[in-house]
Amino acid sequence: MLKYAVFWLSLAGVPVLAGALAMRLKWIRWAIFGMVVGLCIYQPTAINFFSHEWYTGTARGMEISLIHLLALAVVLALALRGRRGPLLPEGGIRTYAVYFFLCLPSLLNADDPLIGWLEVWKMILLFLFWHAVYRYLRATGDVGCVVVALALFTLADFVSVLRQHYGGRFQVCGVFPTWNSLGAGMNLLGAVCLAGYLQMGVRNWTGRLFAAAAAGAAASTVWSYSRVAIATMPVAYGMAALGCLVGGRRRGAVLLRLTPVVLAGFAGICIAWAHIVDRFVNAPKQSGETRREMAYCAFEMMNDHPFAGVGINNISLNMTDDHPYRKRAEEKMGKELETGGVVETLYFLVGAECGIPAALALVAWFGWHALASLKATWVLRGTEWHFVAAGLAGGISANILQGTLDWALRQPINLFLLGFCFALTAYLARWKRSAGTTERRVA
């Protein structure tokens, strides 16, 4: 009860905080820092309405946390300063809106619409989170604040990883709920931090921060022993390094800084090699079988409900004997299935729950930001924030690939980190190149 009392008092204080932040634009920077660093204490500061902890779906309650209150305060503060802007200012968020509205009809097919609403609520909070970051960037152009905040989050998570690893845990998860989600988050942010180190070196505190954060992110991914995260890790870091080499200010310096990274990475892989090989070679056959079983069930659901699915966040409810999907999958596989829960592949999961159009919209949403980050990498070459675009291109691409084998991107921390990076990508995509210079596009 005390936690709920604190929450309602905090919610009542949001307008007061917004008014205070609106007095000086620089004060909003601290709220942005709080939104990112607050992800480290997401669960302890979250209030869960309509809790369904027993449920095995992707959302188990109507959560609202400290970061959402801060995001609301930032949006209100910017509005008070006359920085309102349109609800759908660019292509990425418009694509997300299409994805969101294509998911809503699935509630009509849901066995439990309330369970479905829990995931819809999370999508609404992502929209709020994105707007807070994007509008702050449009108002201030303070890219440095955002990327430093992401690096600080990465280091804070690494401290948690160290505590778990040396505390005797084999597969660590840091501040994330699972090791797969840890790997996805660290691949996303580690690529940005690596690119920052390659561009800046260690001559100033920012470069040293990025170097430490990149090393921590890489170690976290390896110690997670998440097979899909380790497999996509070269994509994240390789694309980030290649982007810095192609468009960086000083290629020779980038190559020089890349040398210790390669050596350290090789040494780290050698140290953890036995455990990595064990995870890939001696992984339980049941794990692969479970993925296949769930995929078959998802295909059966898409066959029956191709346009609206069986209901967002309702896939677990459709794995019971009350529905035909499990029995059909058993007939196709020629054996009795013992699985339940959530299909591992994110895109099959959305297709089964919300229909094929929603799954295609999800792919389009991811694809827009992947292409936008690649475009920004080219447009911003030779500029101060080129490394951000290069890192985002690698991290986002790795996360998209991980989605083919895992649904970690629907975990709250991963989802909001992705929203943070997508807002940053959308802002950088507004820059254009003309007459040999790079400038912001006002329109």
Convert the pLDDT of each residue in 161-214 to its tens digit: 999 999 999 899 999 999 999 999 999 999 999 999 999 999 899 999 999 999
17, HSE (Cβ side, Cα atoms, 13 Å): 18
* Domain region containing 228: 90-282+349-440
The answer to which of 76-85, 214-223, 303-312 has the lowest mean pLDDT is 76-85
The predicted pLDDT at position 286 comes to 64
How large is the average pLDDT for residues 82-91?
86
Residue 326 has pLDDT above 50, yes or no: yes
Question: What gap in Å lies between CA 57 and CA 147, rounded to an integer?
Answer: 32
Average pLDDT over residues 43-62: 85
Task: Report how many domains make up the chain.
Answer: 1
Q: Is the pLDDT of residue 2 over 90?
A: no
Residue 263 domain flag: yes
Residue 285 pLDDT greater than 70, yes or no? no
Spell out a b/e string for 107-119, using b for 16 or more CB atoms within 10 Å of the CB, else e.
Answer: bebbebbebbbbb
Contacts of 385 (CB under 8 A, 6+ apart): 143, 428
Whether the predicted pLDDT of 346 surpasses 90: yes
Query: CA quadruple 407, 131, 69, 32: dihedral positive or negative?
Result: positive
Give the range among 40-44, 136-140, 235-239 with minimum mean pLDDT: 40-44
For the cut 70, the answer to whether the pLDDT of residue 442 exceeds it is no
Domain assignment present for 160:
yes
Single-letter amino acid code for the residue at 161: V
Handedness of CA 131, 132, 136, 142 (dihedral sign): negative
Environment class of residue 86 by beta-carbon count within 10 Å: exposed (0-12), middle (13-18) or buried (19+)? exposed
In a domain, 69, yes or no: no
- Position of tokens 């499990």? 326
Using the predicted structure, report yes or no on whether residue 443 has a pLDDT greater than 50: no
pLDDT, position 137: 95
Structure confidence at residue 435 as a pLDDT band (50, 70, 90): very low
**Residue 50 predicted with pLDDT over 90:** no
Buried b (16+ CB within 10 A) or exposed e, 217-249: bbbbbbbbbbbbbbebbebbbebbbebbeebbe
Mean pLDDT of the chain: 90
For residue 9, is it within any domain?
no
Q: Quick check: 86 pLDDT over 90?
A: no
Predicted confidence at residue 276, as pLDDT, reads: 82
Whether residue 341 lies inside any domain: the answer is: no
Of 97-111, 128-142, 245-259, 273-287, where does mean pLDDT reach its minimum? 273-287
Is 336 domain-assigned? no
**pLDDT, tens digit, 9 for 90 and up, residues 3-19:** 777 778 888 899 999 99
Distances in Å between the alpha carbon of 407 and those of 86, 100, 235, 349, 412?
Answer: 31, 17, 18, 8, 11
Per-residue model confidence (pLDDT) at position 248 = 65
pLDDT at 147: 96
Token output for 439: 């400038």
Do the domain assignments include residue 212? yes
CA–CA gap between residue 359 and residue 102 (Å, rounded): 9
Is 305 contained in some domain?
no
409 pLDDT more than 70: yes
The whole-number pLDDT of residue 344 equals 86
